[in-house]
Chains A and B, each alone.
Chain A
Amino acid sequence: MLETTLSILIVIGALFTFIGSLGLARMPDFYTRLHGPTKATTLGVGSLLIASMIHFSTQGEGVSFHEVLVTLFLFITAPVSAHLLSKAALHLRVRSIAPPPAQIEQADSEADRGRE
C-alpha cells in the first residue's frame, strides 16, 4: 500500500517535471514558454519531495520533514523568478505573439530617460 502510494507520487512528479520541460521546448514564444517551468515543474518537484518525505519517514529513523523546506522554497521563488524574467523580457522587447500593452513601453522609455 505504502509502496504503491510512493510509486504513484514518484511517477506523477516525474511526469509533471517532464511536461514542464516539454512546454519549455515546444511553445512558440518566450511568454508562453514561461508557463511550463513555473507551474508544472514546480508541482512535479513538489510531488517528488512529498514522496521522498514519506519514504524517509517510514525508514524507522524518525520523521523526516526538511523536504518541506525545499518545497516551500521552490513555491515561493518560482513566481518571483518568473516575474523578473518576464519583466526583463518586456524590457528587452523580446518577440511576442500577443502584443504587450502600450503603457509598458511608455513607462520603460521614461525610466531610461530618467537614468541618463
Chain B
Amino acid sequence: MKHWLLPHPILTPILALIWVLLVNSLSPGAILMGVVLGWAIPLFTLRFWPDEVRVRKPLTLIRFLVVLLYDILIANLAVAWLILRGPRHVHPAFVVVPLELTTDIGISFLANTISLTPGTVSSWLSPDRRSLVVQGLDVKDPHALVETIKRRYEAPLLEVFESC
C-alpha cells in the first residue's frame, strides 16, 4: 500500500543523502532540505515507480556488497594485467547465463554486478528475460564462468529480492 506520508521508503533516504553530498555540508538546513526533497520527489513521480522494491534480507545484501567490492578490486587488477600483457593473450568468448531472477531490480543488479567484475560485461538480455548474454575477456572454461556467476552473484540476489 502506497502512502502519501512515505511514498517510497528506499528512495527517500537515498535522495536525502545525495542532496547532502551535493551541497557538501552537514548543516541542519541542508539535511532538512534533503529530507523534504526525498519526500516530495517520490510523491510527484509515484506513477513512474510501477513495482514496489522490497529488500527482504538486508544483511545478505550488505554481505553481497562487501564481496562485490572485493571482486571489483581483483577484477581491475586482472583486467589491467591482461591489457598490459597484450592482445595475443586474451581469449574472448560469449557465454549464455540462464536466469532465475525475474524482477527488474534483481536482473539489473545482476547485470551491473557482472559488468563490474572479472573480465565480463553483460551485453544482451533475451526478450523473454530468461537468459543474459555475457561477454568475457579471457574465458578458459565457459561452464565454470556460468557456474561462478550463478553461485557467487545470482544466489544472494535471489535471496535478497525474491525469496518469499
A residues engaging B (CB < 8 A)? 16, 19-20, 22-23, 26-29, 31-32, 34-36, 38-40, 42-43, 62-66, 68-69, 75-76, 78-80, 82-83, 86-87, 89-90, 96-101, 103-104, 107, 111
The 8 Å CB contact of A27, one of B21, B83, B112, is: B83
Chain A contact residues: helix, strand, loop or mixed: helix
- 8 nearest A-B pairs in the assembled complex, by CB-CB distance: A79-B115, A86-B123, A23-B83, A66-B24, A79-B112, A69-B21, A43-B76, A98-B92
- For B89-122 the 0/1 string (1 means CB < 8 A from A) is 0101110100000000000000111111001011
Indicate if the CB atoms of B72 and A43 lie closer than 8 Å: yes
Binding site for A on B (CB under 8 A): 18, 21-26, 72-73, 75-76, 79-80, 82-84, 86-87, 90, 92-94, 96, 111-116, 119, 121-124, 126-127, 131, 133, 135, 137
Do residues B137 and A35 form an inter-chain contact, with CB atoms below 8 A? yes
Instruction: Tell me the number of A-to-B contacts counted with CB atoms below 8 Å.
Output: 118
A77, chain B: closest CB distance, angstroms: 10
Q: With A66-B21, A83-B111, A100-B133 known to touch, is A40 a contact of B126 (CB < 8 Å)?
A: no
Contacts of A43 on B, CB cut-off 8 Å? 72-73, 76
- The answer to whether A16 touches B80 (Cβ under 8 A) is yes
**Contact partner of B112 among A65, A80, A89, CB < 8 A?**
A80
On chain B, the residues within 8 Å of A98 by CB distance are: 92-94, 135
